[in-house]
Chains A and B, each alone.
Chain A
């Protein structure tokens, strides 16, 4: 498989901060590669290799539901998914 120059992630680290301090029990790491269900959609567990080669439409769909899933648990959290998929030619040089 050849790198596209982009990197992607389905792992979110969440921190709850009050007064500049991270609260006890945080940060929490949510792993979107694990199996989960949300909005009537079920997603199987996937490996890192499967994530790397995942069809982009499938990735975006899973990412959207994963974002909503985490936001439903951490009420008040808004996840910016633009960082989930980004170009990084240093870590992932096109080849």
Chain B
């Protein structure tokens, strides 16, 4: 805090003593104290810097200046939750600065860049395998086994936008579970009929009011009885 001591002295004098001679006399008598006070004020930032500086911090600052040609200031904090504040003066890659800080110092100490924007990251963990239940299931049955024509009919009325899982059963040789897909809104039963010359690949085309959904069951080995 900066104080105008000369003004303070005159203000604190009793009114009838506030003449120039007396004020000057007081100023001379207190000049040493004023000088000490002003010297303290001019040096306080330097004192703070020296109090916080230590060998590792100074070395790191010097090293980063040498490596990246950027000035940084490492300021100790209270450790709750961060131990050091890193101020970067100029433009530099924070990743490179972090690498140097992690390599050469601040071991087990946390630090943060004073211009860093906080951001969240999230991820899903603890996955479980989805399993079919009967109420999720639409069974497509093969109607006929003549030639290469497959007729798949769903015995299920679709009355709203739903997600279904399809279990494709053919001649008792295969149970192909096709995971969830969406059926668009339709008010009628839906069915599939398609011709597949190569039964290693079955293409299911499911007509819909708005669009045509096409699903390919690839690499499915069909053994026809």
Contact = CB atoms under 8 A, between A and B. Distances in A.
A49 to B, nearest CB: 8
Given A18-B118, A94-B177, A52 B127 contact: no
Contact of A6 (B118, B122, B123, B179): B179
Contact of A48 (B80, B86, B118, B128): B128
Interface in B153-210: 162-163, 165, 175-177, 179-180
B81 A17 contact: no
Given A11-B126, A14-B120, A14-B121, A4 B98 contact: no
A11 B132 CA distance: 21
A4 B177 contact: yes
Contact residues of A: prevailing secondary structure: mixed
B94 interface: yes
A33 B37 CA distance: 65
A17 B120 contact: yes
Interface of B: 80-82, 86, 94-95, 98, 110-113, 116-133, 135-136, 162-163, 165, 175-177, 179-180
B61 to A, nearest CB: 17
Given A5-B177, A13-B124, A56-B163, 19 more contacts: A2-B132, A3-B129, A4-B131, A5-B130, A12-B124, A13-B122, A14-B121, A15-B122, A16-B120, A18-B118, A18-B119, A19-B98, A53-B132, A53-B133, A53-B136, A56-B165, A57-B163, A76-B120, A85-B180
Nearest to B182: A56
A12 B122 contact: yes
21 contacts: A1-B131, A1-B132, A1-B133, A2-B132, A4-B132, A9-B126, A11-B125, A13-B122, A13-B125, A16-B118, A17-B121, A19-B86, A19-B112, A23-B81, A24-B81, A52-B130, A53-B130, A56-B180, A57-B162, A91-B129, A92-B130
